[in-house]
Amino acid sequence: MGRIELVVIACGLSMDAVAVSLCKGLRMKKANIAQAFVIAFSFGLFQALMPIIGWALGVQLSHLFCTMSNWVAFFILAAVGAKMVWDTLHEEDGCPVETFERIHFKELFLLSIATSIDALAVGVTFSLLNVEIFSASTLIGLVTFTLSLLAVAIGNRWGIRLQKKAGLAGGGILMLIAVRILVSGF
């Protein structure tokens, strides 16, 4: 898997965090750089750690999948992408409009886990495709951090108009990469 594909996967995986970051930015009474960094760091950290955990699980189970690795990778990525699109299309518009003064770390922790579960599944896929996990996870974390930081600022400035588009784009990207992995196996 090439660097460009990893960047595209990182962008796709980060879209849940971007959508939540847009909401967080919208809900800030006033843009706060320190809080924006904490939000982006939390999302970036979890997006970087989950693929490592998934990769470790995949390595332990790889003997079960070795002859079907392209098919397994396809189904995992396609399912994660389809779920992102489904969730985006079936969620209520917007996020709560109530504003906040400071971050609630328990809520941020739970949001960070929830938005990075798909990265766990992608980590399993990485083990099947022999992707170098630490550079891939670092890249995913950095991309998520950067995009989340921008999303907080954009959300604070322009609101939630982009939230649905982020979820649809992320799911679509993952499904396209799934198809490319399946086609390259033939």
CB 77 within 8 Å of CB 175: yes
CB 120 within 8 Å of CB 13: no
Tell me, what's the pLDDT at 97?
44
Tokens 């809080």 sit at which residue? 35
Percent of the chain at pLDDT above 70?
Answer: 76
Tell me, what's the pLDDT at 94?
54
- Phi-psi map region of 111: left, alpha, beta (phi>0 left; psi -120 to 50 alpha): alpha
Give the burial string for 46-80 (b: 16+ CB within 10 Å, else e). bbbbbbbebbeebeeeeeebeeebbebbbebbbeb
CA distances in angstroms from 20 to 42, 59, 70, 167, listed in the order given: 12, 31, 31, 10
Mention every residue, 6+ apart, whose C-beta is less than 8 A from residue 64: none
Q: Is pLDDT above 80 for 39?
A: yes
Please tell me the least confidently modeled range out of 6-15, 55-64, 142-151, 167-176.
167-176
Mean pLDDT of 153-163: 69
Tokens 């993952």 sit at which residue? 174
Mention every residue, 6+ apart, whose C-beta is less than 8 A from residue 3: none
Tokens 């995986």 sit at which residue? 13
Amino acid residing at 75: F
The CA distance from 150 to 43, in Å, is 13
More confident residue, 120 or 167: 120
Q: Is pLDDT above 60 for 19?
A: yes
Mean pLDDT of 37-48: 96
Amino acid residing at 186: F
Give the helix/strand (H/E) hosting 43.
Answer: helix 33-65
Kindly report, residue by residue over 68-83, the tens digit of the pLDDT: 666 766 777 677 778 7
Please tell me the least confidently modeled range out of 5-9, 18-22, 95-99, 174-178.
95-99
Please provide the average confidence, as pLDDT, over all residues in the chain. 80
Kindly report, residue by residue over 88-142, the tens digit of the pLDDT: 777 665 554 444 556 778 888 988 988 888 898 899 889 888 899 999 999 999 9
